[in-house]
Amino acid sequence: MRKLTVPISEDVIRDLTVGEPVSLSGVISTGRDAAHKYMIDNFIKTEGNPPDSEHELYNELKRILEDGVIYHCGPVVQQTDAGWRFVAAGPTTSIREEPYQAAVIEHFKLRAVIGKGGMGAKTLQACQTAGAVYLHAIGGAASLIAQSVKDVVAVHKMGFGVPEAFWIIRVEDFPAVVTMDSHSNSLHDQIKAQANTEFSKLIEH
């Protein structure tokens, strides 16, 4: 299994192809619906000139996300004396971020997006031009993935609610599969095409 360590270089990403299992380590950020809308409104629409109040977070996110990874996840967390702990942290359905993802990949120079269910043509195009991949985590594997989260480094925008905040986490051997690569290949499209062919055979008279 290919090991990926954040920060990830473009060369490493260009070498990945769909269907390949990977194991990811390093510091990444979670981000789902509210986080993506926030990044578009404050950083991307303003062409990198966010309002003063958002400057600090902008710089922090740029540092984490450049050659980095964003994870579509709304975790179950627990606050302990030692700080936050991830209890259950499986992926959420990614297609909801399709309107935003391409711009976020390009703006922050993201190398990977993790989620489930795959994404659309716009994201696939951004993966090709910017040198990024979509990594599919195993839906429902919440306990196992939570175990790969070794530290909660920071949390930003808690006002969005626990599932929607930016959780900056250090992961070790996070298991996923490349299902969209940087060469315009989508495993989801391939499997769908094959399944459609089989389906037609099964229902012909």
Active site residues: 36
Q: How far is the CB of 36 from another protein (least distance, A)?
A: 18
To the nearest 10°, report the CA torsion of 17, 181, 146, 80: 140
Q: How far is the CB of 78 from another protein (least distance, A)?
A: 8
Nearer to another protein, 118 or 120 (CB): 118
Q: How far is the CB of 171 from another protein (least distance, A)?
A: 14
Q: How far is the CB of 51 from another protein (least distance, A)?
A: 26
Q: What backbone phi and psi angles, to 5 degrees, belong to 22?
A: -130, 165
Nearer to another protein, 83 or 140 (CB): 140
CB burial string 74-95: b at 16+ within 10 A, e below: bbebeeeeeebebebbbbbebb
**Contact positions toward another protein, by CB under 8 A?**
1, 19-21, 74-76, 78, 87-90, 93, 116-118, 136, 138-147, 175, 177, 179, 187-188, 190-192, 194-196, 198-199, 202-203, 205
Nearer to another protein, 5 or 197 (CB): 197
Nearer to another protein, 44 or 144 (CB): 144
Q: Report the C-alpha gap between 110 and 88 in whole angstroms.
A: 25
For residue 102, what is the enclosing H or E element? helix 98-108
Reading the block at residue 62, the tokens are: 């740029």
Q: Are the beta carbons of 120 and 134 closer than 8 angstroms?
A: no
